[in-house]
Structure 1
Amino acid sequence: MKADPSEQLRLLDLQALDTRLDQLEHRRHSMPELAEIAALDKELAHLRNLLVAAETQLSDLERERARAETDVEQVRTRVRRDRDRMDSGRITNSKELVELSSELESLARRQSVLEDVELEVMERIEVSSAEHQRVSVDVAAVEEKRAAAAGRRDAVLAEVDGEAALTTSAREAVVRDIGPQLLALYDKVRASSGGLGAAELKARRCQGCRLELNTVDLSTFRDAAPDEVLRCEECRRILVRTPESGL
């Protein structure tokens, strides 16, 4: 392939810009904030599950307390009713009075049991509420950390996007100085050579594979016309000659 030497030199500029774009893309996907956010998301998911469990338990306990309070109040109502009957003096039958007194004793025992149940439920609610509060605080703390990490991520992405836009614009300007055939070869080689399509021939060494030219290749390149497009015999990248090539 033939190409004006000035076009070949522009390949080095193009390669530098493409390398920078690759670096920016790598930075976009490898910034530490991404791993940090992923870890925080995992922690948040776990904490939110704990929070749901705590809320469910607290809700169940509140219903249990309501039932206990209702049971206690029902017994208290019966006690007040029976005591009022006994204190009213309307009951004169001794047997009925004995039965009523016995019922009051039974209700008192029942009330004591139910009040103990109510107290135990309230203690469990206190423990559950403390756990719910603790998990809520943990969730808020991790959410704050994630928001901070997301802010740093967005700042880096904005910086990367800004530089990438400028670099892409500069690349488009360079591409206009390169013929379509040479550009197509460069793109093909770059795609198959780890992103490096063109390399400088410097001090008789390919800057792509870093190998020094052997005597035969050196002689061949020295005799090549200025517009001939050279390829490294080792890595097959386009070799661009400069005053520092050592030919």
Structure 2
Amino acid sequence: MLTTTLQNKVIQVRDLGLIDYQTAWDEQERIFADTVARKVANRGLSPDEQQPTPNYLLFCEHPHVYTLGKSGHEAHLLANDEFLKQIGATYHRINRGGDITYHGPGQLVGYPILDLDNFFTDIHRYMRLLEEAIILTLTDYGIVAGRIAGLTGVWLDDEAGPRKICAMGVKASRWVTMHGFALNVNTDLRYFDHIVPCGIADKAVTSMQQELGYVVPLPDVAERVQTHLIELFEMKMER
């Protein structure tokens, strides 16, 4: 196991704005590789020589894009290349867990790149805390959300039926994480019609705008998610 004696609970938060999916993925991979390399280097050093590993939280929006996780099925993309061009969308097979999902304008995407050795080494707990941060954020807006047994992400489940509002998919290696969550804030839900979202055919998708009936400022939502994540993980903001 690659561990470091030092524990760094400081997080650097960056807003990447509206950014091409591949560009954001490349940036994630760069930070991820640098963090793993530092862990490997620390392995052969004494505690006073080790360098703490960093933690990042990247926020962004993406242009219309569909991404398929390594355990997903390509048949869950219901559109061909020509139709994707017509609707202005791209498609990527990627290295996170999970099936197919959609990212687009009006959706808050968060990529926590954390060394879990700085916090706890438990992927199940990590996923539940990501979900909890979103649940608490939705509660701030008066939206009652929660989990559905056996399914990842955050859901609404009331008389209108179960519907997903936040998808999640992560990769972790040597306890370093990447990828993350996608919260539908003011998302154009029509784009979900062209996939089987997360491989689940019998449940709907929703957004904060759909539930509340008004456009929700994305920076405000990001700030609330950030606050809840910092509290749940007992982090400190970089100053």
Same fold at TM > 0.5? no
Larger radius of gyration: 1
TM-score when normalising by structure 2: 0.21
TM-score when normalising by structure 1: 0.20
Larger RCO (CA under 8 A, 6+ residues apart): 1
